[in-house]
């Protein structure tokens, strides 16, 4: 088996299924290692060998009734396994159909069927856990995941914490050893990759049922940021986990909405630059309502420039956001300097302020994935200005952070501009503390 794995590792290397050296991902992060098993579809013989070797793990689990490949790279592997082993296959959609049966799982199965998840690469484990959550919700048992490569960045531990055993053909360490033995890479590459893995570990994903049972008042004491602590206290006292998005273009309409919903929400989200009639009076009226109804204001500015520029955007200009917004949203793309820039913009502000780092977005095809999301969490951990993380899944373990999840609607679906919606139940099960509602018309406050 070891000799076969070594030979297959060389074959995968030669078709560029993984690369080593100085590499920049499509989201701009530098990494010495990159896996791309999507190229397998152009090499059917290698793909067939890989699928057959992956399925050898099933010898230990004779009661497998279904298999399910994580979309999309693992689907061809799962298909080959299904054909070769005659085990039925299920397909989990990226999102539920908005028509017909509105299924999110395609295929025939019975309640209680044991389903094995097939995955290509595990980093944080979130994709496997998301798939397992959907399968279990449909009544299937999920106790095993067969994986091609375990990147050794806490993904296996995260998955196994949820009662799913992980079997992988390769770990990154073993893969490096095989390729070094066959002179495909140098000792320097091994060191670079090893150092990278030690530095960029995925956060441990806490057990969701345990996390969601921790009272907000206790989590308030865990927060380093004063605004995060205040948010937790508001969620506790108002018994609300709603952030309302005011995507309106008239100042009076925004004020009317804030007055109507204020008693029921903890956070009011604005896009001040879409207002057609912005004025200082608008800010004054909004702050009065925030005080009257006891909610915080978040300007969803999504800062994404160099430190000096964001400092000026935050403090200066016609909007003077630093003067009135309790919270702002920030992209991680510029790195740590963007937080330093925002802090500089608060030199004349005495009130507490916080920011939310965008780690994952709810729009279709967003590039905020994999290493980008992990990098965003790493940046967030380093500053007491950060109140929380904007994300779609439970990718951090810090109980003092608020998880803010946008794209909430009473039914799953998407709009014609790429916004993807999930149900309140789904986002809570994905770790959300605060759910953003607005255009999705989730109106049962």
Q: Could you tell me which residues are annotated as the binding site?
A: 247, 269, 362, 419, 438-439
Instruction: Check if the beta carbon of residue 68 is closer than 8 Å to that of residue 116.
Output: yes
Element housing 219 (H / E)? helix 216-222
* 302 is an active site residue: yes
Among candidate residues 300, 326, 370, 433, the one labeled active-site is 300
CB atoms near residue 112 (< 10 Å)? 9
Instruction: Check if the beta carbon of residue 185 is closer than 8 Å to that of residue 176.
Output: yes
* 150 is an active site residue: no
35 beta partners:
18
Distances from the Cα of 83 to the Cα of 89, 93, 237, 348, angstroms: 9, 20, 56, 67
DSSP codes of every residue in 265-291: -SEEEE-GGG-TT--HHHHHHHHHHHH
* 63 is an active site residue: no
Q: How far apart are CA 176 and CA 184, in angstroms?
A: 9
Q: How far apart are CA 40 and CA 125, in angstroms?
A: 22
Q: How far apart are CA 87 and CA 187, in angstroms?
A: 42
Among candidate residues 302, 320, 343, 384, the one labeled active-site is 302
Instruction: Check if the beta carbon of residue 272 is closer than 8 Å to that of residue 278.
Output: yes
Q: How far apart are CA 172 and CA 197, in angstroms?
A: 9
Q: How far apart are the first and last CA of the chain?
A: 58
DSSP 321: G
List binding-site positions for substrate: 247, 269, 362, 419, 438-439
Q: Is 351 helix (H, G, I), strand (E, B) or coil?
A: coil
Among candidate residues 36, 233, 259, 305, the one labeled active-site is 305
Phi, psi of 410 (to 5 degrees): -65, -20
Instruction: Check if the beta carbon of residue 323 is closer than 8 Å to that of residue 311.
Output: no
Contact partners, residue 138, CB within 8 Å, separation at least 6 = 104, 105, 109
Residues with catalytic roles: 300, 302, 305
């Amino acid at each position: 088996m070891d000799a076969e794995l070594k030979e297959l590792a060389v074959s995968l290397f030669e078709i560029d299924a993984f690369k080593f050296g100085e590499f920049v991902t499509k989201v701009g992060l530098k990494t010495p290692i990159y896996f791309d098993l999507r190229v397998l579809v152009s090499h059917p013989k290698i793909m067939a060998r890989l699928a057959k070797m992956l399925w050898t793990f099933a010898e230990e689990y004779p009661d497998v009734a279904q298999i399910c490949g994580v979309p999309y790279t693992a689907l061809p592997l799962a298909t080959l396994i299904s054909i070769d082993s005659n085990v039925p296959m299920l397909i989990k959609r990226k999102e539920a159909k908005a028509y017909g049966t509105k299924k999110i799982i395609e295929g025939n199965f019975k309640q209680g069927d044991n389903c094995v998840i097939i995955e290509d690469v595990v980093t944080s484990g979130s994709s496997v856990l998301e798939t397992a959550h959907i399968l279990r919700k449909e009544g299937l048992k999920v106790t095993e995941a067969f994986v091609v490569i375990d990147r050794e960045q806490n993904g296996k531990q995260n998955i196994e914490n949820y009662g799913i055993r992980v079997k992988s053909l390769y770990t990154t360490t073993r893969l490096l050893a095989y390729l070094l033995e066959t002179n495909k890479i140098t000792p320097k590459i091994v060191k670079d990759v090893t150092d990278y893995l030690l530095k960029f570990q995925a956060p441990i994903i806490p057990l969701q049922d345990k996390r969601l049972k921790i009272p907000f008042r206790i989590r308030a004491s865990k927060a380093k940021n004063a605004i995060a602590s205040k948010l937790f206290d508001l969620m506790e006292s108002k018994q609300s986990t709603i952030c309302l998005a005011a995507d309106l273009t008239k100042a009076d309409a925004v004020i009317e909405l804030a007055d109507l919903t204020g008693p029921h929400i903890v956070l009011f989200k604005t896009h001040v630059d879409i207002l057609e009639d912005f004025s200082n009076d608008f800010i004054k009226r909004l702050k009065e309502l925030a005080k009257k109804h006891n909610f915080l204001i978040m300007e969803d500015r999504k800062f994404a420039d160099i430190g000096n520029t964001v400092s000026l955007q935050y403090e200066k200009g016609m909007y003077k956001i630093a003067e009135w917004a309790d919270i702002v949203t920030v992209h991680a793309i510029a790195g740590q300097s963007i937080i330093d820039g925002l802090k500089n913009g608060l030199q004349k502000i005495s009130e507490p302020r916080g920011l939310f780092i965008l780690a994952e977005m709810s729009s279709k095809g967003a590039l905020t994935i994999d290493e980008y999301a992990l990098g965003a969490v790493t940046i967030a951990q380093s500053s007491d200005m950060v109140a929380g993380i904007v994300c779609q899944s439970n990718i951090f373990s810090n109980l003092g952070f608020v998880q803010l999840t946008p794209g909430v609607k009473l039914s799953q679906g998407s709009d014609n501009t790429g916004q993807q919606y999930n149900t309140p139940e789904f986002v809570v099960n994905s770790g959300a503390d605060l759910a953003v509602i607005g255009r999705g018309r989730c109106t049962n406050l």
